[in-house]
Structure 1
Amino acid sequence: MSVRTVVTGLGVAAPNGLGLDEYWRNTLAGRSAIGQVTRFDASSYPSRLAGEIRGFEAADHLPSRLLPQTDRMTRIALVSADWALADAEVNPADLPDYAAGVITASHSGGFEFGQHELQALWSKGGQYVSAYQSFAWFYAVNSGQISIRNGLRGPSSVVVSDQAGGLDAVAQARRQVRKGTSLVVSGAVDASICSWGWVAQQAGGRLTTRHDAEGAYVPFDAEASGHVPGEGGALLVVEDAEHARHRGAPRIYGEIAGHAATMDPRPGSDRPSGLRRAVELALEDADAEPGEIDVVFADAAAVPELDRVEAQALADVFGPRGVPVTAPKTMTGRLYSGAAPLDLAAALLALRDGVVPPTVASRPADDYALDLVTGAPRPAPLRTALVLARGQGGFNSALVVRAATR
């Protein structure tokens, strides 16, 4: 019998809620956190909106020695990991050596830290560049810092596949649990709302240039013109179900039942996107039929051609308007590698509470043939959810999660 991999802890830091309860309460209430950028002066840029986390003071949560050596991204990740472990009632000191690891995803690394050090280099000289620049910018820094802080010396790594990376990291955690690791802290947090990060994101060509916060990020809408970026994400405690039972875990949010990742063909090819294939393979991995999926948490690119591909893949697998679809990231912006783990956390809470959170602002175009949940939460008996994520460059990831069973 294969090892069941379950989620026993959630740590959430999102623009519309710091901590699990605040995030979920605001998400169900449809409270958007998208607004004008305040972390730097974005007035000269074509895109000026973001989902920023307000009120996060790292010094309130972390020892002072960590602050000079960490980017904002890593500080949020460290606190999210603390919250996830506390939610799972896991004391890392009680775990055997090498029994637990850390597998996260990253989209851009510590951009803001790197920007400050480059500014110091060119304006003052190399002697003013922090020695911590050697790792604070790096894609793997969140995995490393979480591991060091908590003494988690088991299998650890980082996945870099843009927005798809958050699901790919959780899938890698599942593989390690199946190989014998008792517990893995997994997921992702990204934060690159700084002028250097903004230029890089702007160059990707997928940011909306609308300045109306309420109507800027509208996936599957006829007026879709690109996404609004954001910061934050979620970290999860992914655990062997038998280990969770043996230690008396206070709750099991759900089971990671299936996953698949595919790549799109090269641009200009006449071959179709690999998204549908990712969905089909994830269902196969979960031993699930399309009719068993009760809700889909969409990637929701808000780029018309990408929205069309996603809507068509869902119609092909589930039938036109065949399954409720939601995109709560319309309240936070796309958090890059942090977006899909946050969607996964929302999916687990939706299964727990029997409610589909809404997509705000969007008015779904008829030709997409989607049953998009808008306006208000939709109560429904939910047992199984599908979470989708796509990264720039052709990455596709699909993950199936089932409701908790003991």
Structure 2
Amino acid sequence: MNKFMTTFKLTFLSKLKAKSFLITTLIIIAGMFIAFNLDKIIGLFDSEDDTVTLEVEADETFLGVFEPTLQSYDDTIEIVDDDGSAVLEVINNEPLEVEMRMEEEISSSQEESIQLALNETNRAYVVQTLGLSQDEIAQMYAEVPVEFLVAADDESGDFEAADDDEMNLLNMIIFYFSVILMFIIILNYASQIATEIANEKSSRVIEMIVSSIRPTQHLMAKVFAMISVSVLQVVLITAGGLVAFYFSDTSALLDQFGLEANEQTTKIVVYCIIYVILGLVLYLSVAAMLGSFISRMEDLQQGLMPVTTLSMIGYFIALGGMSFADHIAVTITSYFPFFTPFVMPLRLLVSDTGHAPMLIGIGIMVITIIITLGLAGFVYKRSVLSTESGIMKNIKRIRK
């Protein structure tokens, strides 16, 4: 046990002190601080904070409609009686024609606000011209009520309300971020662990190592050290994200981008964290097993091809399936162990997904991880002193 812990500590500390670990973690955390304060950053560089004084040359009827409408769209535009930095002149009322004269350019958002306010004012003019009553105006702008019904599952011939399949934007962002984070860390650490194992074998350092520690014990110490480092990085990034979220003006940010939590948000956060960790453990275990087949560094990329391919397929299924998370293809692939960490949380974007599929997916992954680690130990023990130059030759040797 002491030899296991010694190898574990050496590997863990060396990876923890690596510049790649520190730089990657800091960049991702900094990115989250920027994302959570994006509205403030945009405000620093956006000229729309500059107040524009607008002089309106029109009758009182136009001004009475236009001014409150414009203020509802943009409060950085102030209407003044004279000496404004911009002049809006009504050239014709029927149809409404307007000319804007400015001392200097205003921002595109302010131009859009003025355009929208003019459109609303024009509609008010048209309605007034038609001589409609208030009830008729209200009826014209009223939203048409509609109820969507689908046939009941009990074959009774009755109809019931259709489920709301509209996905929550905040939940989609959380899922999107977790999938990208997992994909990046898998590719990074899978390459590192396979490189370490292959480098020891190719340099013959392993001959001295296995003379003092059992090969399987040595491999497991390295695998668990690398897993611990990757999980620690996920924890640090998650903690950094929570700190960034706490110290940002979250209510204003969520309102500005139309983000709103629902009953699935907490569930998707928890399960995304669980599946990211399990996904890292699974793919790093596979990378360790593949690294055990390699005796030369030249064969490293070829040996890691299964990890790269499987993770990329799972990644693209997850992102491509966001628009049809309840499709049968998504459901089936979510139970394939190497796609489960990518695809299973995707099903939570559909509001009627419960805990049962998530727990089944966790069970599948745990069983697969145990089998993979056992197989990795077996392969490493049989091939640790192999000098065969090709991966296929090493596989044939292990099967003997």
Instruction: Give the number of the structure whose residues are more often helix, by fraction.
Output: 2
Q: Which has the larger radius of gyration?
A: 2
Q: TM-score range by the shorter chain?
A: under 0.3
TM-score after normalising by structure 2: 0.27
